[in-house]
Amino acid sequence: MKIVKVKNLYKSYGSNKVLKDVSFEIEEGEIVGIVGPNGTGKTTLLEILMTLRKYDEGEVEVLGATLPEKADFVRSQIGVIFQEGGMYAYIKVKEALDLFASFYSLGKDRIDEIVEEFELHQYLNVKFHKLSGGWKQRCLLAIAFLHNPKLIFLDEPTTGLDPKATQILWNKIKGIKDDNRTILLTTHSMEEIDQYCDRVIILKDGMIVADDNPENLKMKLDKRYFNEVYFSYVEGV
Amino acid sequence: MGKYSFFKKQVKYDFLIFFREPLFAFPILFIPAFFFIVFTSMYASYGDVRSFQQYVPIYSILISFLTIFFNIGMQSVSDRELGVYKRIIISPTNIYFIVATYIVRGVVISFVGLIEMLLIANLGFGIPISDNLFVFMLVFVIMIGIMLLMSLTLHGFFKNSRQVVPFTVLVFQYVLFASGLMFPIERLSKALQYFVFANPVYHMDRVAISIWENKVPNMANILALVATIVICILLLLVQKNRQEY
C-alpha cells in the first residue's frame, strides 16, 4: 500500500525555487531517509507532507488523502518530531503526555502504556527544559507515538545527541517500524541512513538526484560507505 | 470526552506554565502592586489620598499590559521559535485554540490585577471604588481585547526571542514613561507630548479614567483606539497572507 505519493511537486519562496519537479512514492512499513545539503528543501518537503506548508504545483497524497484539502484527516493520523522540539519549556513530561493525549481523546490507559513502552517513569515529573537531549527526543517520540500513527515524520531527530542517546533513539524507532509503521526522516548522518533506512532520497538544489536502497546505491557506484555515495551525488566527487 | 474537552487541558497547562516561568508571574502581579503601595503612601503623607484614585485604573491597565504585551507577546514568539505552534497545529486542534488560551489567560490575569488594585486601594488606603464599576469592567474587557490585538499583531513580526526582547523592553519603557503613569503629561514639553499621543496605552488610560470617574470619555481618545484597532487588523491581514498554516 502506498502511504505517500508525490508527483511533480514544485515549491518556491518568492523567486527562490526550493523544490523542482519532485516525485516519489513510499510504501507502508518503509523507513525512508531524505538527505541533502542545507537549504536544499528537505524540511520544506517534509512540512508539505505534514500539512504545514502549501505547494505551488503538483499532487500530494498522504495516507490516501489529497493535500491540502484533507489536511485535518492527515493531521489526526501522523506523528511528528520537529528539529526545534516543539514543546513548552516549563511543562512536565507527564503533563505533556496528558495534554497531547487530550488532543486525540485518549485516556490514561494509553498514557500508561506509552510511559511503559518508552521507559519514561523516572522523568515524569521533570520539566521539559531540564531533560537531556536524548531524553527530550525520547519524550517527543513517545508523544508522537501516543495516538498510534501509521506514518511518523522525524526532522533531524538525532541532531545534537551523543552516540549512546542516538543508538537508544534508533532502537526505539526500529521498534516502531517493526509494527509496520512508515517512517520518513531527514538527517545529516550518513551512518544512520546506511544503517537504518530501507530507502534514501537524495535532494540537490530542490531536485531528487537519487532514490533507492542505500546498499543498491553503494553497489551501483562501487562505494564502500554511504557518505561516499552522498558526495558523489551532491558534489560530483 | 467532549469534542473540545482538550481545550480545558490547554487552558489548565497554559496557567501552570505561566506560574512556573520565574520572570513573569511575580513581576506582573507583585511589582505594580508594590509601586502602587509606595506611591499611594507617599501621596497620603502630602494630601488627600482620594485624588489618587485615578491610578487604580492606570495600574490595572499596566498589569494588563504586562500580562498581554510582555508575557503573552513574548511567549507567542518563543512558542513559534520552539516549534510549539507547529507541533500543536499538527494535532487535531488549530491556531485559534492557542489564541483562545491566550485570551483566557489575558482576561483572567488582568482581572486578578484589577481586583488586587481595588483591594489595595480600598482596604489599604480607603480610596473609594468607582460608582461606575460594572461599566468600567466592561470597558476594561475591551481594553484587554485591544491590548491582545496589538500584542499578537506586533509580536507576529518577530521570528525569535533574540529579536523580540529589545523591542519589548523598548515598548515597555515607552509605555511606562509616555502614558501618564510616571509623570503628568501636561508637564512634558510639546514635542514629547506627541510621543504620548501616539501611545495607544495612554488613550486606554484616559478612557478608563473617564469611565472610572463616571464621565463621558474624550472622543479623541476613542478615535485613537479605533485607529489602533484598524491598523492592527490591517497588519494581521498582511501577516495572514504570508502565513502558510
One DSSP character per residue, A142-186 reads HHHHTT--SEEEEESTTTT--HHHHHHHHHHHHHHHTTT-EEEEE
Better-predicted residue by pLDDT, B45 or A181 = A181
Q: What sign does the dihedral B162-B163-B166-B170 (CA atoms) show?
A: negative
Task: Please give the Cα distance from B171 to B103 (Å, whole number).
Answer: 21
Indicate yes or no: pTM above 0.90: no
Residues from chain B contacting residue A72 (CB–CB below 8 Å)? 92
Residues from chain A contacting residue B81 (CB–CB below 8 Å)? 84
- Whether A125 and chain B come into contact, CB under 8 Å, resolves to no
- Whether B39 and chain A come into contact, CB under 8 Å, resolves to no
Query: Average pLDDT per run of 10 along chain A, which is 237 residues long?
Result: 94 91 93 91 92 93 92 90 86 95 91 90 94 88 89 87 80 77 90 90 93 92 89 83
Cα dist from A82 to A78, A158, A180, B86, B150, whole Å: 13, 11, 22, 8, 29
Residue type, B2: G
pLDDT value at position B3?
Answer: 64
Please state the three-class secondary structure of chain B as a single string: CCCCCHHHHHHHHHHHHHHHCCCCHHHHHHHHHHHHHHHHHHHHHHCCHHHHHHHHHHHHHHHHHHHHHHHHHHHHHHHHHCCHHHHHHHCCCCHHHHHHHHHHHHHHHHHHHHHHHHHHHHHHHCCCCCCCHHHHHHHHHHHHHHHHHHHHHHHCCCCCHHHHHHHHHHHHHHHHHCCCCCCCHHHCCHHHHHHHHCCHHHHHHHHHHHHHCCCCCCHHHHHHHHHHHHHHHHHHHHHHHHCCC
Residues B72-127: tens digit of each pLDDT: 998 889 888 888 888 888 888 878 888 899 999 999 999 999 999 999 999 988 88
- Whether B90 and chain A come into contact, CB under 8 Å, resolves to yes
The candidate with the shortest Cα–Cα distance to B31, out of B3, B4, B71, is: B71
Nearest chain A alpha carbon to B16:
A91
Extract the C-alpha cell encoding B149: 490585538
Nearest to A103 among B82, B92, B245 (CB): B92
Inter-chain CB proximity B5 and A86 less than 8 Å: no
Nearest chain A alpha carbon to B18:
A90
Choose from B8, B87, B240 for mutation: most chain A CBs within 10 A: B87
pLDDT value at position A237?
Answer: 64
Nearest to A80 among B5, B20, B87 (CB): B87
What structural domains does chain A harbor? 2-88+130-235 (3.40.50.300)
Residues from chain A contacting residue B245 (CB–CB below 8 Å)? 51-53
The reply to whether ipTM tops 0.90 is no
Better-predicted residue by pLDDT, B173 or A24 = A24
pLDDT value at position B25?
Answer: 80
For residue A140, the distance in angstroms to the closest alpha carbon of chain B comes to: 10
